[in-house]
């Protein structure tokens, strides 16, 4: 898959959500990453359906929704209805991952599954043929602005090898602590999509930072 940047709206200015969404819409980023946190799966609370709908109204980009919530099966269909193009749930949060996958598909969205830093990629071997994307967390989920965990590079490479050996086209996305300083090595390890919150919205020129990440060599 073509290199893709997914700016995380968690780092946007919520007082100017439409402005920040339109800024990303003009940029070279092809996706928008939307972090939903419930205060239970992660020690933080972000936002839910109304905010996703507002972003959907303001954007033509591919909306990549990352659910950091317990019992995701209860809500995945509503996120698809609210405008998600892709719904990603956490492997650790779902008692019945296969059923959760089916609920997302039935609602008409693409399916992603995510693993936290301590979860080995091996747990995904059986589920891999059923999903469109795997999201490798390169920080502990819950907050923007943390440092990239270096051992994530090895996990990305292992996942890339697993996808290749299985003859699949699974998209590999990486989330946490990514900027134009480390984008080249994360892409080189096997990532297709890089999420970036602080690096984009904290940059003096966010659109230029997105281009620097895309072109990082
Ligand atoms: C963290 C979220 C991330 C976060 C990334 O739990 O899943 O998407 O917004 O932020 P940065 O790029 O600042 O690490
Ligand atoms: Zn995320």
* Alpha carbons 213 and 165: distance in angstroms, whole number: 28
72-84 tens-digit pLDDT: 999 999 999 999 9
Report percent pLDDT > 90 for the chain.
100
Ligand 1: residue of 46, 138, 144 to mutate (most ligand atoms within 8 A of CB) is 144
186-198 tens-digit pLDDT: 999 999 999 999 9
* Alpha carbons 127 and 129: distance in angstroms, whole number: 6
The answer, yes or no, to whether any atom of ligand 1 lies below 6 A from the CB of 33, is yes
Measured by CA distance, the residue closest to atom 9 of ligand 1 is 144
* Alpha carbons 151 and 115: distance in angstroms, whole number: 14
Whole-structure pTM value: 0.98
74-128 tens-digit pLDDT: 999 999 999 999 999 999 999 999 999 999 999 999 999 999 999 999 999 999 9
The answer, yes or no, to whether any atom of ligand 1 lies below 6 A from the CB of 69, is no
Of the residues 35, 38, 64, 132, only one is catalytic, namely: 35
Centre of ligand 1 to C-alpha 8, Å, is 6
The answer, yes or no, to whether any atom of ligand 1 lies below 6 A from the CB of 66, is yes
Measured by CA distance, the residue closest to atom 10 of ligand 1 is 144
The answer, yes or no, to whether any atom of ligand 1 lies below 6 A from the CB of 10, is yes
| Index of the ligand 1 atom closest to the CA of residue 198 | 13
- The residues near 182 (Cβ < 8 Å, ≥ 6 apart) are 148
> Is 35 noted as a catalytic residue in this protein?
yes
- In contact, 32 and 62? CB cutoff 8 Å: yes
Residue 119: what are its φ and ψ, rounded to 5°?
Answer: -90, 125
- Average pLDDT for residues 6-30, to the nearest whole number? 98
Q: 4-214 adopts what CATH topology?
A: TIM Barrel (3.20.20)
Q: Where are the domains of the chain?
A: 4-214
């Amino acid at each position: 898959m073509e290199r893709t940047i997914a700016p995380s709206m968690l780092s946007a200015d919520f007082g100017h959500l439409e402005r920040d969404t339109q800024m990303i819409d003009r940029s070279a980023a092809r996706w928008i990453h939307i972090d939903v946190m419930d205060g239970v799966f992660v020690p933080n609370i972000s936002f839910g359906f109304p905010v996703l709908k507002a972003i959907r109204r303001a954007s033509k980009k591919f909306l990549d929704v990352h659910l950091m919530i317990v019992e995701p099966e209860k809500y995945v269909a509503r996120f698809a209805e609210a405008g998600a193009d892709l719904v990603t749930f956490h492997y650790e949060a779902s008692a019945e991952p296969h059923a959760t996958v089916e609920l997302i598909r039935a609602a008409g969205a693409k399916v992603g599954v995510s693993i936290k830093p301590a979860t080995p990629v091996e747990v995904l071997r059986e589920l891999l043929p059923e999903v469109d994307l795997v999201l490798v967390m390169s920080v502990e989920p819950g907050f923007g602005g943390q440092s990239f965990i270096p051992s994530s590079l090895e996990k990305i490479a292992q996942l890339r090898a697993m996808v290749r050996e299985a003859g699949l086209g699974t998209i590999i996305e990486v989330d946490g602590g990514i900027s134009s300083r480390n984008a080249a090595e994360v892409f080189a390890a096997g990532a297709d999509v890089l999420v970036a919150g602080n690096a984009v919205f904290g940059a003096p020129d966010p659109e230029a930072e997105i281009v620097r990440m895309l072109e990082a060599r």
